[in-house]
Each structure stands twice: as C-alpha cells, then as structure tokens.
Amino acid sequence: MPVPPAPRTILRRCSMYYLEIDRFADMRSPVHAWDPRIKIPALLIMAFTIALLKDIRLAAMGLAFSIGLVAISRIPISFVLRRLRWVFIFLAPFVLIMPLTVPGKDIWQFSFLSVSYEGLSLVTVIFLKAVAIVLLVFPMFGTAPFHTSMKALQHLRFPTRFVQIILFTYRHIFIFFGEICRMNNAAKARGFEAKTRWHSFRTLGNFIGVLLVRSFERTERLYNAMISRGYRGELITLSTFRMTPRDSVKGAMVMAISVLLLVGDRFL
C-alpha cells in the first residue's frame, strides 16, 4: 500500500525543522549503515579523546577527523553550519578574552592591550577541540532515526529512566512547540505584538503559565494512557539491530585513531 507523504504542516508553519537532529537519517552512507550500538560508544570515546588533547597539531587532526566523518556521512554542510552557529556564539567570549588575559610572550601590542602567544595557542586548541567534538554529534546522532539511537543506548545498558526522559522530552518538544505556535498565532490574530512594554511582558508571562499548566495536565493524561496499557516503569522494545563484521571494523578503526591521537599527544 503506498503511504502518502507525512503532513508536517505544524512543523512547517512554525519553522521547527531545525529541531530535528535526525532530519537526514534516511540517507545512505557508511556512517548511516553503521550499527549504532558500536557507532555511539566509538564516537563518544573519540569525543573524550579529542577533549584530552593538548597539542595544537593533534587538535587540528581531531578536527580533520570530525570533518572527514561528517563528509562521509553526507549530512548537508548548510545544516551543519546552521547548528554550529551556536557553538561559535558560545566560544566567542573565550576567543576574544583569553589571548588578552593569559600571561606569556607578547606578540602584538596596542596601547594597554597585549596578545600573548600562549593565550592565542591555548584558545586555538580550545576552539579546534570544541568544534571537532560538536561536529561528532552529527555522525553520532544525525545518521539514524533518533529513536533508534535511543534504543541502542538502552541496549548498551544506559539507565532506562535516563533513556525514557530523553525519549519523552524529544517526543514532546514538538507538541510543546506546536502549542507555543498556536498560542502565538492566537495572540497575533488579536493584535498582539511583542514589544518592550508592560502589556507584552504580562502576556508572555501568561503564555508561560498556561504552557506549564497545560503540560502538567498533559503529563497526567499521558501517564493514564501509559498505565492503562500496563506500563510499570520499564520501557520494553523490540529491537531489530543486526551487527556485521563491517560494523566492528569501523569501530576498531575509530578506536585505533583515537589511540594514535592520544599516544601522539603524549610524545609530541
């Protein structure tokens, strides 16, 4: 039976597409084909490895690895860059302040400001490592449907409560945003404009209050729906994971690279 395309009207109307980390999970690539039960821990270890690096050259290699992996995964660069924006905003204060404040050999001076070599190299390492680690998230969680990744976590014996919290949060972000969007439309339809004035703040306060009350009531109804179907605190799922030697080889390759990076960092 042909299945019609999914109606995503609410998502589209509220431009909520960018919330979906797994938007490109349906593509084909060696990273997509990788069993998440190996992919997630392997890339997590890689992320920790990169976090431990101190040498600027090795941090650059870590970044190169991440960029390479994102390229292999074929996730569109525009999608990646739009999300990286937030990382850059977060890093901006460090980049601006650290070269000026870390003591060391001055390489540039302008009246009372001086940029130190140590500060500059330290901030470069931090920047390279941060971008490299954030980039790893895309192959890690962007190459499989989100729920598949969560099932993989459950298989890896992550605490079930933790997995359930993430799953339900993810599921409800969309309901939540749909609600915000509808309320926002309802307010706009009655002439509401968000301006810096008392009335706007009061309206926004009401928004948040109503949203909280609604979500509280929703959790109650949701919980009823769950226990009426026999829920007892466990999330039981049927899995369809299949592991092949190829999955292990990919895992071994990533591990080898991370060991090399660590060894290199120690001796360089």
Partner 1 sequence: MSSAITIHNLTYCYPDGTEAIKDISLEISEGESVALMGPNGAGKTTLFLYLNGLLPKSSAFGKGGRGDSGSVGIVKIFGSAVDGKKPLREIRRRVGIVFQNPEDQLFCPTVFDDVAFGPLNYGLPPDAVRSRVRDALEAVGMLGFEDRVPHHLSFGEKKRVSLATILSMNPAIILLDEPTSNLDPRARRKVIQVIGDLKVTKVIATHDLEMTLELCERGIILDNGRVITDGRILDILKDKSLLEAHGLEVPYSLR
| Interacting residue ranges for partner 1, rule: CB under 8 A | 1-3, 6-8, 11, 145-147, 150, 167-168, 170-171, 174-175, 218, 221-222, 224-232, 234, 236-238
Question: Cβ atoms within 10 A of the Cβ of 156, count?
Answer: 14
| Minimum gap (Å) between residue 183 Cβ and partner 1 | 15
| Minimum gap (Å) between residue 234 Cβ and partner 1 | 8
| Minimum gap (Å) between residue 151 Cβ and partner 1 | 8
Whichever of 189 and 236 has its CB closer to partner 1, that residue is 236
H or E element, residue 240 = none
| Minimum gap (Å) between residue 207 Cβ and partner 1 | 19
Whichever of 48 and 231 has its CB closer to partner 1, that residue is 231
| Minimum gap (Å) between residue 267 Cβ and partner 1 | 45
> Alpha-carbon distance 54 to 158, whole Å?
30
| Minimum gap (Å) between residue 215 Cβ and partner 1 | 11
Whichever of 4 and 191 has its CB closer to partner 1, that residue is 4
> Alpha-carbon distance 13 to 8, whole Å?
8
- With b for 16 or more beta-carbon neighbours within 10 A and e for fewer, the 119-130 pattern comes to bbebbbbebbbb
> Alpha-carbon distance 59 to 65, whole Å?
10
Residue count of the chain, please give it: 268
Q: How far is CA 115 from CA 32, 57, 76, in A?
A: 44, 21, 37
> Alpha-carbon distance 144 to 79, whole Å?
16
Whichever of 89 and 236 has its CB closer to partner 1, that residue is 236
Whichever of 76 and 145 has its CB closer to partner 1, that residue is 145
Q: How far is CA 265 from CA 96, 130, 139, 235, in A?
A: 26, 17, 24, 42
| Minimum gap (Å) between residue 11 Cβ and partner 1 | 8
Whichever of 81 and 227 has its CB closer to partner 1, that residue is 227
Q: Which two tokens stand for residue 58?
A: 């090795």
Question: If you count DSSP H runs as helices and E runs as strands, how many of each does the chain have, helices first?
Answer: 9, 2
> Alpha-carbon distance 178 to 111, whole Å?
53
> Alpha-carbon distance 251 to 135, whole Å?
18
Whichever of 83 and 147 has its CB closer to partner 1, that residue is 147
| Minimum gap (Å) between residue 182 Cβ and partner 1 | 12
Whichever of 24 and 65 has its CB closer to partner 1, that residue is 24
